[in-house]
Amino acid sequence: MADWSYIPQVLVSGLGIGCVYGLIGIGFCVIYNASGIVNFAQGAFVMLGGMITHMLFARNGVPLPLAAVIAIAAVALLGVAIERVVVRPLWNRKATMFVMILATLAAQIVIERLTLIAVGDQPKTLPVFTDRPPLMIGGVAIGFQLIWIVGGSIAIVGLLAAFFSLTKTGKAMRACSINREAAALQGIPVSRMLALAFALSAALGAFAGILITPTQYTAFNVGVPFAISGFIAAIVGGFGRPFGAFLGGLLLGLLQALAIVGFGAGLKNVAALSVLLLFLFIRPSGILGAAK
């Protein structure tokens, strides 16, 4: 039988991973809102964020903050490249959602395999950002990396909210998601907004990957599980609702952590997918209700 005295500790670590799922889920929403596309290459962005930072930092001696910034920028550029090379040609042909999902999944696999060839199959990691003993609060150990993850995620969510509600570009992206044709009629360059959405969610994914890598590891094949978790977060939150996706991510992270205590680590994905099925059966529009 599981030892339930660990619950608070487990919840704290679930919170950290939940934030990361939430960020990935937001990435799904940003692209979905701009285009109606579900981008399954999202996981590749997460993997590459951690991987590129590791390569720059561990192999080339670039300071960690700089390595992280370069990695985020590089992954954002890759996002734009995927939009141009894979998504736009299909979009212009009015490809169905099913085709888009397959095409982005294919892009994910290509990136994964190229990474395998380039850096091998050994897991890589990053040092924690602040190397100090964890804070003890009421018998619960709170590592500094967790504070980075939660703080960084909340900061990003706040910045995104400000971007979408205060800036003209952010409002224009929302306008495209509400009514793409009307947006075009205002002279809003809808296709550039799509490229921007890919850049933004790629950067988000990379940021999430960099935050989580010190507590776990990264390897060529971590992308798909992260993408699935982020996708579940987005569904649970109400697809197309960035804030909902973040809540969905938190919920998923906490439930997964509890499932690990209750049933063992082997069943963590069973728990996650059960949550997905449960929501699809009972509340397919998610916590906040789907955006469309």
Q: What residue ranges bind other proteins (CB under 8 A)?
A: 168, 171-172, 174-175, 178-179, 181-191
Number of helices (H), then strands (E), in the chain: 13, 2
Do residues 225 and 21 lie in contact, with contact meaning Cβ atoms separated by under 8 Å?
no
179/274 with CB nearer other proteins? 179
- Helices 168-178 & 144-166 angle (0-180, nearest 10): 80
137/161 with CB nearer other proteins? 161
CB of 185 to other proteins, least distance (A): 5
CB of 174 to other proteins, least distance (A): 7
DSSP classification of residue 217: -
Tell me which residue of 198, 221, 197, 257 sits closest to 21, measured CA to CA. 257
33/115 with CB nearer other proteins? 33
63/189 with CB nearer other proteins? 189
65/189 with CB nearer other proteins? 189
Q: How far is CA 242 from CA 23, 157, 276, in A?
A: 9, 8, 17
CB of 168 to other proteins, least distance (A): 7
Length of the chain: 292
Tell me which residue of 180, 188, 163 sits closest to 33, measured CA to CA. 180
Beta pairing, strands 135-137 & 140-142: antiparallel
CB of 30 to other proteins, least distance (A): 16
**The one-letter amino acid at 231:** F
CB of 196 to other proteins, least distance (A): 14
CB of 291 to other proteins, least distance (A): 9
CA distance 143 to 52: 24
CA distance 22 to 33: 16
Residue 134's CB is within 10 A of a number of other CB atoms, namely 14
118/182 with CB nearer other proteins? 182
